[in-house]
Amino acid sequence: MRKIYFLLPLLMIISSGLYAQIENPVKWSYAAKKMNQQEAVVFIKATIDENWHIYSINQKPGGPLKTSLVFIPSTGYQLEGKLREPTPHTVHDEVFDMEVSYFEKSVVFQQKVKLNTGQAVVKGKIKYMVCNEEKCVTPDDVDFSIPVK
Amino acid sequence: MKFSLKTFLWLLPLTIVLTQKLSAQDNNYISVLARELRNTKITAFQNVENYPEHTIKLSDLDGKTAILLDFGGINCRGCVAGLPVLDSLQKKLKNKLLIIWVTQNSKEQISEFLTNNKIGKKLSIPIMANDTDLYNYFLGKSRQIPQEVMIDCYGNTIGLVGGQVVSGPLLNFLANVRMGTGHYVELWKDPR
């Protein structure tokens, strides 16, 4: 019986702790693929919870916040071309009265880089807003660091 | 009572269900906050658009009007979509309750929203631009919007409601708030 008295509060703390966490419906993951000694592509993937979405990097102002990725300049690499994204869902939104482009479930952003010394660590920051039909969350900026070997 | 693995396995889901229920009540209904606005350095709401002098002094409201702070932003679809309901609620409650839309958007963004957005054009509630103090104080690390904070006519922070602006919990909440008259207000019906 004593064990129950000990375990009950413990169980309550564990399970209530789960709900005290700040809601963040997006998980970010990273990868890199080397094309040759001079070129590589970095992949930045957002895995988005059911019923939530993030917005295109090309979302026009006046509506929801676009997703933006900022790469930190380095002597190890240079960006080659623009950041790429797949074709987003685009709809006319009645509330914003404009075209809104977004991604559901998952999206992979790609950036080609030119390697100066055959390898590099690509670092940067992701700013984004994630919304469902009722609410939005603007989490802290996400720092990334992607080794390219 | 013999404590076995079976008992443990039985207790685990029960405990989770119980705490989930408590936690859901916190999120969706009222979590009474033991914080008082009068104890903060906030003495006025600044940068208020849609309001004659762009500043609302708390001392002018003290003892007269309850305040509903609706935290939102022009980039949040759910927040903007809920504004007409708040606007009609404000018209209905007139001097008893002051509803302020608290945003972190710039003055220019708010002006553009009031001029160009079809919901914005019809709004009459005051809108606060460039806020950081109220966001930090009331929402802390929670970056979720919309969220509403109710302050009674004596400056006491009495509740935080998350999620839907027009939800039943908010309306039930308003039914139990000390408004300007010093009395509890009768149960509201959804203004929709």
Domain ranges in chain B are 1-30, 31-174
The mean predicted confidence, pLDDT, of chain A is 88
DSSP label at residue B178: B
Q: Is residue A82 part of a domain?
A: yes
Q: Is residue A78 part of a domain?
A: yes
Query: What is the rounded CA–CA span in Å between residue B152 and residue B66?
Result: 4
**Is residue B92 predicted with pLDDT exceeding 50?**
yes
ipTM surpassing 0.95:
no
The mean predicted confidence, pLDDT, of chain B is 71
Find the closest chain A residue to B162 by CA distance. Answer: A135
Contact A15 B76 (CB under 8 A): no
Q: What residues of chain A lie within 8 A of the CB of B7, using their CB? A: 4
Give A6-34 as a DSSP string. Answer: HHHHHHHHHHHHHHHSPP--EEEEEEEEE
Question: Which one of B75, B103, B119, B170 makes the best mutation probe of the A interface by having the most chain A beta carbons within 10 Å?
Answer: B75
**Is residue B176 predicted with pLDDT exceeding 80?**
no
Name the strand (E) or helix (H) holding A82.
strand A77-84
The total number of structural domains in chain A stands at 1
Q: Is residue A7 part of a domain?
A: no
Most confident of A123-132, B12-21, B39-48: A123-132
Which residues, numbered 84 to 103 in chain A, qualify as contacts with chain B under a Cβ-Cβ cut-off of 8 Å?
93, 95-97
Question: Residue B36 pairs with which residues in a beta bridge?
Answer: B156
**Is residue B88 predicted with pLDDT exceeding 90?**
no
Whether B4 has its CB under 8 Å from any CB of chain A: the answer is: no
Residue A96, domain CATH: 2.60.40.1250
Q: How far is CA B117 from CA A29, A94, B73, B80, B111, in A?
A: 36, 10, 13, 10, 10
A78 to chain B, minimum CA–CA distance in Å?
33
Pairing verdict, β B97-102 and B127-128 = parallel
Find the mean pLDDT for residues A39-67: 96
Q: Is residue A10 part of a domain?
A: no
Pairing verdict, β B147-151 and B66-71 = antiparallel
Nearest by CB: A22 against B1, B12, B141: B141
Find the closest chain B residue to A137 by CA distance. Answer: B144
Q: Is residue A2 part of a domain?
A: no
A85: domain range?
Answer: 23-148
Residue A38 Cα to chain centre, angstroms: 26
**Is residue B127 predicted with pLDDT exceeding 50?**
yes
**The listed CATH number (3.40.50.620, 3.30.930.10, 3.40.30.10, 3.40.50.10130) that belongs to domain B31-174:** 3.40.30.10
